[in-house]
């Protein structure tokens, strides 16, 4: 098989907000290669509807935003990261708008941002572009990146593993990655002095998710395999309101709909969250998702309903044009009919451990965005803090990039196919894909128990053994590599959940229904320490 070695100063893995912003910020002084799994527009950022949280309202304050984040994070947020991010937020939002041309909504006849409100927020502080904020951010940043002479974007690159070195004295580092060029089937080496992981989330390890197909936990799996510390993977956020319809796919109904007055209702029309939480339908996501899950299990109904029929119809269309259009395509007029919704896996609050500037504990390897565990989100993410964390970490990583880089070696071992052959049993890959996702949904979902976690552990370990054998015998394909990653990520989620003997935030265990002060700490795993085989 032909093999190519590509060299650049900086390698970026991922084309969402974190990857694009970092690439643009460092491209003024370095050559940048950006790899994306499919096309550059395909990322979790692209699908973000709500917006990015920042304090702009004169009645709001940094202290209030910090307090809201800490409260929703259920005791596990790192205050230094939260304060750092919230303080930087307004300036970074302004930079996205004024430097990179992101068209956030503004108030009529005023040069001020229009601000929305979402679950868990005490004030309006969500800067947005209609209900397609992520797509607008990607549009602005991608256009700038495509124009930049120092940025090379390579699509359809499925990263196989990170390139790393380690010595007997304990020193180690990362200097790039192997990638499968999917159209040609060739494996390439991408060598760089510093690598940024911006590979996004892990929603596809679950049967039902709001995430696009690219969200297969690639970054967490690859980082763990070279010895980086990962953690808090038990905290998978399930978004309460994904559109329930056989033709809907993984379409999310933004939390901003509830922020503008939408009410969650049962089939009989009664308000689901009345008496359940002081914020009602605007309660934090972990609370709402558990209430919906419990209601569906208790009644056997397939969904609950999000009702905005009491709001002005013209306002609904203007504020949520994409959601309104998609619902209409499926025969639902949200102006006159409640929207059927169910929870689905949405956001990974854990990830690869980093500091406030995106440094991992592997020299030369940075991480930003959903793949990173910075301490911003704790045990449950406050709505619209995800895009904020992504740009804060990307900006910080760009600042310290030069000091954190390590000189890449002059010689790089070529990818060796060995005696592998083309797959003749693709059904094994597709079947195991389904089994991993079913096991995670059934046993490691919104509500867990010790018995469910042990069942999931046994099933995932059997699947992982099959995958290891298959991987050794067959040439790599995107499906096989993604299966390898989701099975390892599933294993790590289960291990984190088994170690947290309490309920906190997004992790709810029937055998330990209360929070325990002894577990007010991160759950960290590192392969080099022998924490997980």
Query: What pLDDT score does 49 carry?
Result: 85
| 452 is a domain residue | yes
Query: What pLDDT score does 120 carry?
Result: 87
The residue annotated as part of the active site, out of 125, 139, 285, 459, is 285
- Single residue among 319, 344, 369 that ends a domain in this structure: 344
State mean pLDDT over 417-445.
Answer: 85
- Single residue among 344, 367, 382 that ends a domain in this structure: 344
**Structure confidence by residue, pLDDT tens digits, 48-84:** 888 999 999 999 999 999 999 999 999 999 999 999 9
| 107 is a domain residue | no
- Single residue among 312, 344, 376 that ends a domain in this structure: 344
Could you give the CA distance from residue 36 to residue 154 in angstroms, rounded to a whole number? 6
125 catalytically annotated: no
pLDDT bracket for residue 411 (50, 70, 90)? confident
**Structure confidence by residue, pLDDT tens digits, 284-343:** 888 899 999 889 888 999 999 999 999 999 999 999 999 999 999 999 999 999 999 999
Containing domain of residue 278, as a range? 240-344
- β-strand partners of 378: none
Higher pLDDT, 196 or 406: 196
125 and 115 Cβ atoms separated by less than 8 Å: yes
103: tokens are 């068209």
State mean pLDDT over 13-41.
Answer: 97
| 410 is a domain residue | no
State mean pLDDT over 244-272.
Answer: 90
160-169, 177-186, 211-220, 509-518: range with lowest mean pLDDT: 160-169
- Residue 500 belongs to a domain with what CATH number? 1.20.58.100
Count of domains forming the chain: 2
| 99 is a domain residue | no
22 and 9 Cβ atoms separated by less than 8 Å: no
pLDDT bracket for residue 528 (50, 70, 90)? low
| 14 is a domain residue | no
- Residue 266 belongs to a domain with what CATH number? 3.90.700.10
SS3 of 455-492: the string is HHHHHHHHHHHHHHHHHHHECCCHHHHHHHHHHHHHHH
Query: What pLDDT score does 533 carry?
Result: 39
**Structure confidence by residue, pLDDT tens digits, 87-136:** 999 999 999 999 999 999 999 877 899 999 988 899 999 999 998 999 99
pLDDT at residue 472 greater than cutoff 50: yes
Query: What pLDDT score does 532 carry?
Result: 40
pLDDT bracket for residue 388 (50, 70, 90)? very high
Cβ neighbours, 10 Å, residue 461: 14
| 115 is a domain residue | no
Could you give the CA distance from residue 174 to residue 67 in angstroms, rounded to a whole number? 37
pLDDT at residue 515 greater than cutoff 90: yes
Check residue 340 and give left, alpha or beta (phi > 0: left; psi -120 to 50: alpha).
Answer: beta
Nearest to 119 by CA among 257, 243, 296, 250: 257
pLDDT bracket for residue 172 (50, 70, 90)? confident
pLDDT bracket for residue 530 (50, 70, 90)? very low
Query: What pLDDT score does 504 carry?
Result: 96
pLDDT at residue 531 greater than cutoff 70: no
List the alpha helices (DSSP H) in 405-447: 426-443
| 72 is a domain residue | no
Q: Whole-number mean pLDDT of the chain?
A: 93
| 225 is a domain residue | no
């Amino acid at each position: 098989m032909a093999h190519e070695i590509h060299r650049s100063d900086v390698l970026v893995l991922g084309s969402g907000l974190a990857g694009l912003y970092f690439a643009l910020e460092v491209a003024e002084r370095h050559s940048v290669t950006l790899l994306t799994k499919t096309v550059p527009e395909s990322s979790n950022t692209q699908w973000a509807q709500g917006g990015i949280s920042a304090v702009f309202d004169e009645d709001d304050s940094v202290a209030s935003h910090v307090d809201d984040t800490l409260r929703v994070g259920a005791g596990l947020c790192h205050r230094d990261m939260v304060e750092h991010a919230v303080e930087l937020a307004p300036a970074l939002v302004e930079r996205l708008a004024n430097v990179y041309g992101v068209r956030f909504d503004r108030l009529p006849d005023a040069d001020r941002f229009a601000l929305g409100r979402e679950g868990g927020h005490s004030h309006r502080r969500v800067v947005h572009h209609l209900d397609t904020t992520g797509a607008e951010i990607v549009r602005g940043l991608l256009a700038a990146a495509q124009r930049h002479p120092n940025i090379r974007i390579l699509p359809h690159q499925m990263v196989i593993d990170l390139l790393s070195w380690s010595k007997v004295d304990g020193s180690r580092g990362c200097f790039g990655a192997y990638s499968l060029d999917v159209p040609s089937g060739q494996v390439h080496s991408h060598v760089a002095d510093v690598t940024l992981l911006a590979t996004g989330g892990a929603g596809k390890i679950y049967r039902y998710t709001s995430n696009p197909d690219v969200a297969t936990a690639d970054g967490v799996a690859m980082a763990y395999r070279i010895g980086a510390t990962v953690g808090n993977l038990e905290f998978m956020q399930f978004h309460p309101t994904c559109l329930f319809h056989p033709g809907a796919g993984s379409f999310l109904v933004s939390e901003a709909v509830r922020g503008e007055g939408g009410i969650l209702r049962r089939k009989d029309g009664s308000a689901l969250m009345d008496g359940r939480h002081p914020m009602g339908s605007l309660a934090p996501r972990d609370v709402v998702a558990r209430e919906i899950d419990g209601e569906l299990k208790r009644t056997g109904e397939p969904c609950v309903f999000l009702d905005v029929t009491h709001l002005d119809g013209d306002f609904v269309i203007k504020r949520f044009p994409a959601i309104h259009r998609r619902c209409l395509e499926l025969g639902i007029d949200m102006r006159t009919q409640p929207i059927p919704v169910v929870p689905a896996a949405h956001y990974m609050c854990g990830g690869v451990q980093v500091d406030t500037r995106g440094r991992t504990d592997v020299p030369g390897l940075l991480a930003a965005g959903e793949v990173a565990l910075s301490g911003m989100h704790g045990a449950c993410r406050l709505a619209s803090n995800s895009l904020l964390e992504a740009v804060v970490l990307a900006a910080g990583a760009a600042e310290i990039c030069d000091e954190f880089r390590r000189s890449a070696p002059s010689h790089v071992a070529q990818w060796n196919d060995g005696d592998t052959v083309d797959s003749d049993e693709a059904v094994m890959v597709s079947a195991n894909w389904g089994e991993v996702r079913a096991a995670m949904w059934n046993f490691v979902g919104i509500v867990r128990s010790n018995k469910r976690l042990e069942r999931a552990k046994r099933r995932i370990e059997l699947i992982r053994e099959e995958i290891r054998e298959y991987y050794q015998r067959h040439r790599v394909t995107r499906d096989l590599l993604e299966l390898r990653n989701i099975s390892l990520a599933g294993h790590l989620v289960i291990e984190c959940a088994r170690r947290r003997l309490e309920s906190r935030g997004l992790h709810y265990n029937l055998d330990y229904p209360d929070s325990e002060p002894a577990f007010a700490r991160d759950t960290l795993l590192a392969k080099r320490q022998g924490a997980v085989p």
